[in-house]
Structure formats: C-alpha cells, structure tokens
C-alpha cells in the first residue's frame, strides 16, 4: 500500500493527537510512525505522521481542516525531491552529495550544478549532471543573480544547496526561495560568522571546531539551524590544519541536514527548528 506523510503545526490545545489519529482511523489508514512535540516556550504543537492505505488521502486533509481549522496541514511529498547545487571552487561537499546520489543513498535528484568558476566542471560531468558556469566577473551582484535565476527557471528545484558557495545572496534572491536554501557554514554557529571562520577560530585558540547547516535568511549566517557537529583540535593546529580537518565535518553535516529536510523532518518556527529524527 502507498505511504503518505502528514505535517501539522498549530497552537497547542487538548485533544489534537486524538483528532488527527481519529480522522486517519475513520478513513481506514494505518499509522506507520508518529512524532509530535509541543514547544513549551510558545505552546506550539508540531506533528509528523506517516500512514498507509489504499485510498486517496485528500479527504483526510479536508476532514482535518474542519476538525482543526486554525492548523497548518500539509500532505508532504514522499518521493525524491529535486535539488540544484551552487558551488564555487571547493569539491568536498559537492563531491560527497554526488557520490551519495550515485549510490542511490540520497532522497534527492541533483538536477544541476551552478558555479561562478569552472573549477568543478570536470567533477560534475563525471556524474552526468549538467554544469552551468555563470561568471560573476563584470557583473554586479543583482545581475549575476538574475543570470542564476534564469537557469533555475529551467529546473524549478524544490531546494537550493549552497555546497560551499562563497558569495552572499541578496535579500531579493533569498525571497524567491523562502526556506528553500540550505547552506553549510564552516564553523559552529553562532560563533565565527562571516568570512574566514577557521582563521577566526585559530586566533581565538579554540579547542573544538565544527560545522553548521542552516536555512538561509536575509541575515548572514543566522538562519534556523538544522544540524551541527564538532571535532577536537589542539594548540598544534594551524588555521590551515583546522580547515583541512573541518572539511570532513562539513560534508557529513550538509548531507545529514539535506536528508532531514528532504524527508520532511524539519519544522521551522520563528528562527528555530523542530526536527523529528
């Protein structure tokens, strides 16, 4: 039987789980997995439910909207989602994603790669993925982004992935893809935002370095955090040693964050995330 995925969030009140599961039972569906959470600070309710059944689930949504009229209710896609990656020159994050896709170990289709340099074209072409070189030379930032948007219109991706894309996006570009742009930042945010975070970490004498995957917003490196990890370093590490060691953390955390997003496990509430792993 086909599997469906239901996402609900709304202000908390008694009986929400009962109402949702009751509607599913009434329509003859079987619940495969269920996660719910109430944010104690805001008294907001979140629920992710996978269910199966032979009938079409549209009637479930209609009944739930009558039962919980103030809730945001959505049937989420369950197949592979389309992704376009934006990159600059570094290969480790993009290469990891391409390998995962090649091994069928990823819930996404990487439709294309866009870069402001030609450096990674040979890598991308080995995987049969279209590569689009859009130089930023002789273009101001809005003009460059308009050229990128023109290419993206051919793909209509569900998400954009900044796999070490080393350019700051304008608010106008971000507004085109609300909560659809995922970035990997090479530090443990909120520490060391902006450029050269490993140099910043070295100068501060840190004993751990990390990486953070987050949703892109208008404010640099301050969007809702999806996943983070760290590894220990010592006084013997130079900034270059830290950057080299950090690459492994970056690619793993980006892949983890994308999987969570693509499997519809991430809820964004204000500037925080609720994640059902």
Residues classed as catalytic: 221
Distance CA 30, CA 47 (A): 16
In angstroms, the first-to-last Cα distance of the chain is 24
| DSSP state letter for 6 | E
Distance CA 64, CA 222 (A): 34
Q: Give the Cα separation of 182 and 216 in Å (integer).
A: 6
CA distance 81 to 109: 6
With H, G, I as helix, E, B as strand and everything else as coil, classify residue 207.
coil
Summary count for the chain: helices (H), strands (E): 8, 13
| Contact partners, residue 66, CB within 8 Å, separation at least 6 | none
What is the 3 state secondary structure string of 74-118? EEECCCCEEEEEEECCCCHHHHHHHHHHHCCCCCEEEEEEEECCC
In angstroms, rounded to a whole number, what is the distance separating the alpha carbons of residues 45 and 60?
19
| CA-angle at 27, arms to 21 and 29, nearest 5° | 65
Q: Residue 120 corresponds to which tokens in the numbers above?
A: 């990674």
C-alpha–C-alpha distance, residues 32 and 18, integer Å? 16
Is residue 57 within 8 A of residue 75, CB to CB? The reply is yes
For residue 51 the two structure tokens come to 């269910």
């Amino acid at each position: 039987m086909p599997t469906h995925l239901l996402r609900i969030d709304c202000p908390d009140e008694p009986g929400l789980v009962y109402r949702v599961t009751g509607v599913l039972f009434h329509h003859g569906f079987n619940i495969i997995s269920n996660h719910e959470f109430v944010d104690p600070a805001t008294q907001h309710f979140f629920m992710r439910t996978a269910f199966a059944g032979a009938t079409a689930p549209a009637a479930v949504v209609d009944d739930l909207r009558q039962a919980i009229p103030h809730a945001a209710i959505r049937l989420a896609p369950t197949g592979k989602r389309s992704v376009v990656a934006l990159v600059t020159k570094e290969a480790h994050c993009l290469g990891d994603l391409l390998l995962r896709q090649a091994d069928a170990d990823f819930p996404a289709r990487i439709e294309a790669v866009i870069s402001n340099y030609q450096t990674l074209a040979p890598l991308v072409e080995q995987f049969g993925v279209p590569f689009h070189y859009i130089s930023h030379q002789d273009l101001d930032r809005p003009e460059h982004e308009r050229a990128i948007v023109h290419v993206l219109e051919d793909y209509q991706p569900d998400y954009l992935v900044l796999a070490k894309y080393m350019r700051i996006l304008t608010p106008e570009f971000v507004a085109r893809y609300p909560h659809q742009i995922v970035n990997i930042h090479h530090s443990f945010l909120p520490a060391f935002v902006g450029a050269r975070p490993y140099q910043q970490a070295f100068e501060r004498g840190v004993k751990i370095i990390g990486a953070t995957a987050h949703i892109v917003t208008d404010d640099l490196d301050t969007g809702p955090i999806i996943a983070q990890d760290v590894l220990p370093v010592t006084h013997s590490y130079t900034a270059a040693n830290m950057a080299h060691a950090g690459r492994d953390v970056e690619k793993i955390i980006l892949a983890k964050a994308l999987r969570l997003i693509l499997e519809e496990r991430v809820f964004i509430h204000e500037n925080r995330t609720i994640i059902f792993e």
